[in-house]
Structure 1
Amino acid sequence: MNAQQVLVLPGWQGSGEAHWQTRWERLHGYQRVEQHDWMHPLRGDWSARLEETVVDAPAPVILVAHSLGCILTAWWAAHSGHASGKVQGALLVAPGDVERPELTGPLRGWTPISMRSLPFPSILVGSRNDPYCSFERARALADAWGSRFVDLGARGHINAESGLGDWPEGHALLDSLRTTTKD
C-alpha cells in the first residue's frame, strides 16, 4: 500500500514531535489530515476536512486515529457517503470520551458520540489507565463501532507520555488491519 493512502488523524491539540503518529509520518510517509484549529476543534469543520481529504485521496485509504480523531472517525463515518467505499479500515487508538463532564466544556459541540457501527473494519486500542476514557468505556465504544478491541494494559493516553517511541506493536496492528482488509 502506498504511504499516501494512510491518513493520520491526531486528536485535540494535534500530535507533537515525540508522538507515535508524528513518528509514523516521518518513518513511513503517512499523510496527516491537517485541521484548521487544533486548540479549538469544531466537529463540523473537522468532519468537512476529513471528508475533503478522503474524497481527494486515492482509494482505498486507511485511517489511523488517536483520541479525538477516533471520535471524529465515528461521527464522520455515520454521516459520510464516502466512508464505506473509500475507507478500507481504521486503527483507533485511545478514544477521548467527550461525554465526560470535564471534557464537555473544552470540547463543546462534540457530543453525542456516534454509536453506529463503522462501515469498514477497525481495531480499537484501549488503555487501562487512560485519563480521558475509562477502560470500560473504550470497550463499549469498540463494541458499538464493531471494532476488534485490543487491551494495551496500563499505558495512559497512549501518547508521547506513554513512552512508546515508534510504537512497533501499534504498527503491527495497522499491518494486520491492512492484511485482513485486502481483497
Structure 2
Amino acid sequence: MASNLINFIVPGLGNSGPEHWQTWFEQSGGSFQRINQREWDAPDREDWVSNIQQAVAGHDPATVILIGHSLGCTAIAHWANAYKVPVRGALLVAPSDIETPQYDFPATGFAPIPLSPLPFPSIVVASTNDPWVTINRAKLFADAWGSRFVNIGEAGHINVASGYTTWSDGLELLRSL
C-alpha cells in the first residue's frame, strides 16, 4: 500500500472479530483504520453512512480506499449515493443481499440496495456458495455499481466461518485499486 493512502475498513453486521480477514488487514502494517459503529447488531443506515462520511471527510478523497464486507458493502453504496465523494476506490467483499427474506435481522433503512454507479473505481468479490447473496445478485450489484467483478469460487461468506482469516489474495486485490 502506498504510505499516503488511508484504508477505511467497513465491517458488516456484528463487526469483524479478531480472526476476520478485515482485522488481519488492519494488523498488516498498512494504513488501515476501522470505522466503528454505535450499533453493530441492530444497524441503522443513517448512523452507518454518517460514520463513513465523518471518517472520510477528514482526508483528501484521492487517498481514501474503503474496504467493505457484507452489510458494510451496502453501507458504502448508500454513502456513495448520498455524498458522491470520488474516493480512490473500494473493495466490496461478499455484499449481502438484504432484500431476500432470509435477511431477517433488524437493519433499519438499508433496503432497497442502491443500484447507481459508484463515483469511484471498485471491485466486488463474491463466492458461488455464499448463504447471504447468490452469485447472480452479486454480479448484478457489481454491474450496477460499475465494479470489476471477481468470483472466487466456493468461499462461503468470505469470513472466519469459511476460513478467511489471513487473506493475501484480498490484499493483492486491494493493491490493484
What TM-score do the two structures reach when normalised by structure 2?
Answer: 0.93
Q: Which residue of 2 aligns with 1:180?
A: none
Q: Larger deviation: 13-22 or 25-34?
A: 25-34
Q: Which residue of 2 aligns with 1:151?
A: 151
Equivalent of 2:40 in 28, 35, 38: 38
Q: Which residue of 1 aligns with 2:55?
A: 53
Q: Which residue of 1 aligns with 2:95?
A: 95
Is 1:75 aligned to 2:78, yes or no? Answer: yes
1:114-148 CA-partner distances (Å, limit 9, x unpaired): 00000000000000000001111001000000000
What letter corresponds to residue 149 of structure 1 in structure 2?
A: F
SS at match of 1:103: coil
Structure 2: gaps of 5 or more residues: none
Q: Distance in 2 between matches of 1:7 and 1:104?
A: 27
Q: Distance in 1 between matches of 2:4 and 2:21?
A: 16
Percent identity, aligned pairs only, is 46
Q: Distance in 2 between matches of 1:3 and 1:116?
A: 29
Count of residue pairs brought into register by the alignment = 174
**In the alignment, is the contact (CA less than 8 A) between 1:98 and 1:113 conserved in 2?**
yes
1:24-67 CA-partner distances (Å, limit 9, x unpaired): 10123410011111111000000011010000134420001100
- Taking the TM superposition and a 5 Å limit, the aligned residue runs for 1:108-123 are 108-123=108-123
- Taking the TM superposition and a 5 Å limit, the aligned residue runs for 1:124-139 are 124-139=124-139
Is 1:23 aligned to 2:29, yes or no? Answer: no
Q: Which residue of 2 aligns with 1:14?
A: 15
Q: Distance in 2 between matches of 1:58 and 1:51?
A: 12
Deviation, structure 1 residue 176: 0.9
What TM-score do the two structures reach when normalised by structure 1?
Answer: 0.90
Deviation, structure 1 residue 109: 2.1
What letter corresponds to residue 111 of structure 1 in structure 2?
A: A
Structure 1: gaps of 5 or more residues: 178-183
| Structure 1 ranges of 4+ moved more than 4 A | none
Q: Distance in 1 between matches of 2:51 and 2:164?
A: 28
**In the alignment, is the contact (CA less than 8 A) between 1:4 and 1:31 conserved in 2?**
no
Q: Which residue of 1 aligns with 2:65?
A: 62
SS at match of 2:102: helix
Deviation, structure 1 residue 170: 0.7
Q: Which residue of 2 aligns with 1:141?
A: 141
Greater share of helix: 1
